[in-house]
């Protein structure tokens, strides 16, 4: 009798283990993909903040550098008596280059914004498509099961 109880007990454990060990491919893929996307979502603000801090530090260094440049200009370049017309042309050239650079930054930002919107639209379209396919599959499967 004890052997029979042990055998039934082992059978129950096996059934419970089978229930625990059943793994869904869809769940594996969904969970791991979700974990990756959530990690990216969590880390992105930190990444952007780090780049913002980096560029703030660059800006600070540049301001310090050109602060020293003013001192050097007063000490040396003013004594050289550089023509103001040449400095005006130099200023115009730098403004032109700065405008081009700022324009390129704006274009890059607009491109990336459009690119993200495009990808969001693709994901939305894919989502609608998969729902349509799943609904159609469910209808066909239910008709097949009924027959």
pLDDT, one tens digit per residue, over 17-36 is: 556 678 888 888 889 999 99
**Number of other residues whose CB lies within 10 A of the CB of residue 51:** 10
Question: For 51-75, what is each residue's pLDDT tens digit?
Answer: 899 999 999 999 988 888 878 777 7
Q: In terms of pTM, does the model score above 0.85?
A: no
């Amino acid at each position: 009798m004890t052997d029979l109880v042990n055998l039934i007990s082992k059978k129950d454990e096996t059934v419970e283990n089978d229930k625990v060990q059943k793994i869904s491919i869809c769940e594996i893929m969904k969970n791991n993909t979700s974990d990756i996307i959530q990690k990216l979502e969590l880390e992105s603000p930190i990444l952007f903040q780090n780049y913002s801090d980096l560029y703030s530090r660059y800006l600070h260094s540049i301001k310090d550098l050109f602060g020293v440049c003013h001192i050097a200009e007063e000490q040396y370049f003013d004594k050289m008596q550089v023509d103001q017309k040449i400095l005006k042309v130099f200023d115009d050239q730098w403004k032109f280059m700065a405008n081009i650079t700022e324009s390129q930054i704006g274009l890059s930002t607009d491109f990336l914004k459009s690119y993200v919107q495009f990808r969001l639209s693709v994901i939305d379209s894919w989502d609608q498509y998969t729902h349509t396919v799943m609904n159609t599959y469910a209808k066909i499967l239910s008709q097949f099961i009924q027959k």
